Amino acid sequence: MSSFPVRTFAVASLIVAILAAAGCGDRRRSVGGGGASPEGPVVKESVFDVEGMTCGHCEQAIQSTVGAIEGVETVEASHTEKKTVVRYDAARVKPEAITAAIEKLGYTARLRSGS
Ligand SMILES: [Cu+2]
């Protein structure tokens, strides 16, 4: 009567653990051994120089793709200024992930030095 499905729970936990381990292969242990920053998100604004945008559709493509990255807050792409300004949580997103996402769309992206 009281056969609580302990085994099922254990298997489910194992699967969750495996998925979690697979999903953060490049996560580095932070100083002090803690997980997330106790101060919360580290919001950063960076400017990326983007070559190849020709119109508003290009801006839209970049905005929706980069905006879908978890940890990205806002994206402002401008084809006239050949740049994209991104506000993101630096604790969760690396600028390289943003340039990679833009380049996957067929543009050339580079983090502007000093930003
Ligand atoms: Cu376009």
pTM here? Answer: 0.66
The alpha carbon of 103 and the centre of ligand 1 are apart by a number of angstroms equal to 14
Report CA(13)–ligand 1 centroid distance (Å): 46
Q: Judging by DSSP bridges, how do beta strands 43-51 and 108-111 pair with one another?
A: antiparallel
Cα–Cα distance between 94 and 103 in angstroms, integer?
Answer: 15
- Counted residue by residue, the chain has a size of 115
| Three-point CA angle 46, 94, 96, nearest 5° | 85
Instruction: Name the DSSP letter for residue 69.
Output: S
Determine the pLDDT at residue 109.
Answer: 98
Measure 52 CA to ligand 1 centroid, in angstroms: 8
How many A from CA of 59 to the centre of ligand 1?
7
Secondary structure class of 108 (helix, strand, coil): strand
Domain 43-111 adopts which CATH fold?
Alpha-Beta Plaits (3.30.70)
**What is the overall mean pLDDT for the chain?**
79
3-state SS assignment for residue 54: coil
Calpha distance 61→30 (Å, rounded): 34
Return the H-helix or E-strand segment holding 103.
helix 95-104
Residue 115: the pLDDT is 75
Distance 106 CA to ligand 1 centre (A): 11
pLDDT-derived band at 40, boundaries 50, 70, 90: confident
- Res 114: pLDDT: 82
